[in-house]
Every structure is written in C-alpha cells, then in structure tokens.
C-alpha cells in the first residue's frame, strides 16, 4: 500500500459485525455505516483522491505564493471534502461506535509502508533539530517563533509516526 492509502485508512474502521464505518471528521465526528464493498470503494476512492490533490496543492501554493494562502486553501478544500463526502454518505445511517486516535493511527499504520514511516520519522527529527538550531540562533521574535513552531509541530509528528512504526512492527510480527 502507498502513502495515500495510509492516510485514507485513518478514516475507516470495522465494527464488531465486520461492517465498515467511515468517519469523515476522524475522532471529532460520528461515523457512517457503509452498506457494502462498492460503497466503501467509492468513499475510499474519494478520500484518497482528495488527499492526492489537496496535499500537493497546499504545499506548492504555500511554497510559491506564501503562507497567506493557507487559510483560503483550507476553506476551499474543506468545502470540497465536506460536500463531496456528504453526497457519498448522506443516505447511510450513523454508527454509535467512536473512532479513537489510537485506532486511527493503527489503521493508518497498516496502510503505510514501514520504510516510508521511518523516512517520515527521520525527516521529523531533522526538522526538530532545525527548529532547535533556529531557536538558538534567533535574532528576532519571528525567528524564535518559527523555531518553536518547528519543534512543536515536527515533534508531534515524530511522536505520532513513532507510534505508527511501533504498531506496524507489531502487525508484521503478528502476520
């Protein structure tokens, strides 16, 4: 499975009956019970396509045009996801099951390649080190803020990815 499969997996889980549940807003919202494999394939396809378009677009636009475009892009992509996913699942019943962070991360880990997870972990550590350097060398408050943000954001990413590596290794041992 690829990187986008891993991201997509975080929004899905199986309930006790073996039915697939889709959580469009992850741990923050209710899940929908998908009636069959065809519905699951449609919803998974939409979510994966969303990530494949949204992530590169946000990165490219923010690098080329600046971070001032982050909020307008969040609104545009948020609306696309909201209306796109709603049209796919509006007819399906809500589930009483909840999705926990651990379940979401475990589902995501199952869909990621272990090599990619390690690569992302190493990149996170490098960015934390960069943030420490920036914080230490900062001459202005904005430079200090960039360093602190880098440490906090990439530190959190590193913790999550480290947990996913642990889960992925446990899954491999169980296979």
User: In the prediction, which pLDDT does 1 show?
Assistant: 61
User: In the prediction, which pLDDT does 6 show?
Assistant: 84
Confidence of residue 32 (pLDDT cuts 50, 70, 90): very high
DSSP-derived 3-state class of residue 109? helix
DSSP 36-100: SHHHHHHHHHHHHHHHHHHHHHHHHHHHHH-GGGHHHHHHHHHHHHHHHHHHHHTTSPB-S----
How far apart, in whole angstroms, are the C-alpha atoms of residue 165 and residue 151? 20
How far apart, in whole angstroms, are the C-alpha atoms of residue 134 and residue 148? 8
Nearest of 49, 77, 40 to residue 62 by alpha carbon: 77
At 33, which helix (H) or strand (E)?
strand 32-33
Condensed to tens digits (0 to 9), the pLDDT of residues 57-113 reads 888 887 887 777 888 888 999 999 999 999 999 999 999 899 988 888 888 888 888
User: In the prediction, which pLDDT does 175 show?
Assistant: 59
User: In the prediction, which pLDDT does 58 show?
Assistant: 86
Nearest of 26, 29, 3, 28 to residue 13 by alpha carbon: 26
User: In the prediction, which pLDDT does 40 show?
Assistant: 94
Residue 159 has pLDDT above 90, yes or no: yes
Condensed to tens digits (0 to 9), the pLDDT of residues 100-140 reads 888 888 888 888 889 999 999 999 999 999 999 999 999 99
* DSSP letter, residue 34: -
* DSSP letter, residue 18: S
How far apart, in whole angstroms, are the C-alpha atoms of residue 36 and residue 20? 8
User: In the prediction, which pLDDT does 106 show?
Assistant: 87
Residue 152 has pLDDT above 70, yes or no: yes
Average pLDDT over residues 136-151: 92
| Under 8 Å between Cβ of 62 and 53 | no
At 17, which helix (H) or strand (E)?
none
Residue 23 has pLDDT above 80, yes or no: yes
**Percent over 90 (pLDDT), the chain:** 59
Please state the pTM of the whole predicted model. Answer: 0.80
How far apart, in whole angstroms, are the C-alpha atoms of residue 31 and residue 95? 5
| Under 8 Å between Cβ of 112 and 168 | yes
């Amino acid at each position: 499975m690829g990187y986008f499969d891993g991201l997509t997996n975080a929004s899905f889980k199986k309930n006790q009956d073996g039915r697939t549940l889709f959580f469009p807003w992850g741990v923050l919202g209710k899940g929908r019970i998908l009636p069959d494999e065809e519905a699951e394939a449609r919803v998974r396809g939409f979510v994966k396509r969303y990530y494949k378009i949204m992530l590169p677009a946000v990165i490219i636009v923010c690098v080329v045009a600046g971070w001032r475009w982050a909020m307008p892009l969040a609104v545009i992509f948020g609306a696309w996801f909201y209306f796109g996913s709603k049209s796919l699942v509006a007819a399906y019943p809500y589930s009483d099951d909840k999705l926990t962070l651990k379940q979401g991360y475990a589902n995501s880990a199952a869909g990621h390649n272990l090599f990619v997870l390690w690569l992302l972990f190493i990149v996170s550590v490098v960015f934390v080190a960069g943030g420490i350097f920036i914080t230490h060398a900062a001459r202005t408050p904005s430079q200090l803020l960039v360093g602190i943000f880098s440490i906090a954001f990439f530190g959190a990413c590193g913790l999550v990815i480290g947990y996913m590596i642990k889960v992925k290794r446990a899954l491999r041992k169980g296979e």
